[in-house]
Amino acid sequence: MIYFEDLQVGAETEFGSYDVTRDEVLEFARKYDPQPFHLSDEEAAKTHFGRLSASGWHTAAMTMAVIARKVVNEKQAGLGSPGIDELRWKKPVYPGDTLHVRGRIIDKTPSRSRPEMGSFRTETTVANQNGDVVMTFQSIVLIRRRPTGDASAA
């Protein structure tokens, strides 16, 4: 189990990748972001996107899927997140792209009011298969502290 005490400021993590499919872009757009450039090749061609593009919110959801799989597989003692800051969609994401997600811990703080937990701030970068950054954000993550008497603390 990975606890607050195990985290190092400056540590970087490669979370994994996600293949963007046309069917998923259309399904997400129909349900959550039904703007013409997310639903129609013809309408998208009339915009600065040039072709059908994924919703930024879909890009965020795909990124979360990659991060969550890694955190669950590594058994992190995470407690969720109170939110994200500075979310930026830098470039469009298109069907056929492969997203690569990486994060860097930029600070960590023990809780003053809840000694059993702490938080850390990450800077997350999402790039496509060409290395072009398509999205960035900072997030705050809540995480349990190592229980006293935990044998793995040594």
Q: What angle do CA 114, 115, 121 make, to 5 degrees?
A: 75
Q: What is the pTM of this model?
A: 0.89
What are the pLDDT digits (tens) for 46-102?
Answer: 999 999 999 999 999 999 999 999 988 888 888 989 999 999 999 999 999 999 999
- Looking at CATH, the fold of the domain delimited by 4-153 is given as Thiol Ester Dehydrase; Chain A (3.10.129)
CA 124 to chain centre: 6
Residue 151 has pLDDT above 60, yes or no: no
Residues 6+ apart with CB under 8 A from 147: none
Q: Residue 142: which residues within 8 A CB-CB, separation 6 or more?
A: 78, 79, 80, 81, 82, 117, 118, 119
At position 73, the amino acid (one-letter code) is N
| pLDDT tens-place string over residues 106-143 | 999 999 999 899 999 999 999 999 999 999 999 999 99
- Give the CA-trace dihedral at 30, 32, 53, 91, to 10 degrees: 180
